[in-house]
Amino acid sequence: MSFNIGGRFKVGGFTIGANIPFGVGRDSEVTPKSITDKFKEIKTPNNSINTMMANVTKSGLFSRPYLYRILITPPKEMFTSYSSDRLKSIMLNCESLSIPGYTMATKPHKTYGIAKEYVYEKLPENPITLGFYMSDKMHEFNFFNDWMSGMYKQGRVDYYDEYKSTMTIYQLSAQEPGVDEEDLKVMMKVKLIDAYPKSISSLSLGHETTGIQKMTTDIQFRWATYEDYTAKSSRDRQGGTEGALSGFKEIGGKLANTFSSFSTPKFGSIIKKQLNNLPAVQSLDQFFNNG
């Protein structure tokens, strides 16, 4: 006899839904009198409450959408106009963005029978929108306005290679707490190739308007690359591939540190060398090439 227990459970401050199968099969003659007896008599090691609780304790295995950083590499002609501190503040004020997805474009082909869909192109989700809190000196708006002004000068469009650049998005992990986001581990790196701002939003003003002023910009890019740091660190350690749950253990209904054996780098170690000396021309060239 088998059955399912479904419901919503609150674990570590988060409410989750679960549907857990129990039982040994239809041919079993086990007929417990209550659910309590069912737990005692039937062994379901892969579907027990303890396993589920361990899996979601403190929501350790769930990605957090607010743990991210973005690294914006401006065109070379803008390096002399923006100091390291100003660029850092602009990137820190990025309050919303999205990691772009993509679609496989297909075309039906039929010789006989049911038609088949063949892939012929990969289409990135283009463009993406970045949202920024506006600083008092409006550095964010001025930065993208300067970028776009350099693309179109006095009725003439600049060369593509002169205004395209690179943007990199880092998804961080909540597994290991740190002093700030630079202490957090990097799970994924997404690089937008040949990126540039396509539009900037208007700025609404008004005597009855309250709160922080915001702006958005649409970023066009030619291609996006995705780098899984968890898989990379696993290969670096053992020369093979392991899943992100390689360190999973159920101990007294609690989840052991999933990434305790991982060597994924911290965000600070990835970008500090690239940002430390931005105003220097030599360092800027290195930053542009390696960003």
Tell me: the pLDDT tens digits for 155-211?
899 999 999 999 999 998 877 666 566 678 888 999 999 999 999 999 989 998 888
Q: What is the pLDDT of residue 138?
A: 93
**Residue owning tokens 């922080």:** 212
Report how far residue 243's alpha carbon sits from residue 234's, in angstroms, rounded to the nearest whole number. 8
Q: Note the pTM of the prediction, 2 decimals.
A: 0.68
- Look at residue 71 and give its three-state secondary structure: strand
What average pLDDT does the segment 122-144 reach? 93
pLDDT for 133 beyond 50: yes
More confident residue, 263 or 89: 89
- Angle among Cα 241, 243, 246 to the nearest 5 degrees reads 105
Helices (H) and strands (E) in the chain, counts: 8, 15
Q: What is the pLDDT of residue 17?
A: 64
With cut-offs at 50, 70 and 90, classify the pLDDT of residue 84. Answer: confident
- Look at residue 168 and give its three-state secondary structure: strand
Amino acid (one-letter) located at 58:
K
Report how far residue 165's alpha carbon sits from residue 275's, in angstroms, rounded to the nearest whole number. 16
More confident residue, 126 or 288: 126
Q: What is the pLDDT of residue 129?
A: 96
**Cα–Cα nearest to 75, from 135, 147, 2, 173:** 147
Report how far residue 89's alpha carbon sits from residue 158's, in angstroms, rounded to the nearest whole number. 28
Supply the Cα-derived Rg of the chain in whole angstroms. Answer: 25
**4, β-bridge pairs:** 21
What average pLDDT does the segment 133-148 reach? 94
What average pLDDT does the segment 47-61 reach? 63
Q: What is the pLDDT of residue 154?
A: 84
pLDDT for 98 beyond 90: yes
- Look at residue 88 and give its three-state secondary structure: helix
**Residue owning tokens 């970008």:** 271
**Rounded (10°) CA dihedral 279, 283, 287, 289:** 130
More confident residue, 230 or 263: 230
More confident residue, 175 or 253: 175
Instruction: Kindly report the number of other CB atoms within 10 A of residue 110's CB atom.
Output: 8
Q: What is the pLDDT of residue 39?
A: 56
Which of these ranges, 121-135, 192-206, 255-269, has the smallest mean pLDDT? 255-269
Average model confidence (pLDDT) across the chain: 75
More confident residue, 240 or 106: 106
Q: What is the pLDDT of residue 60?
A: 61
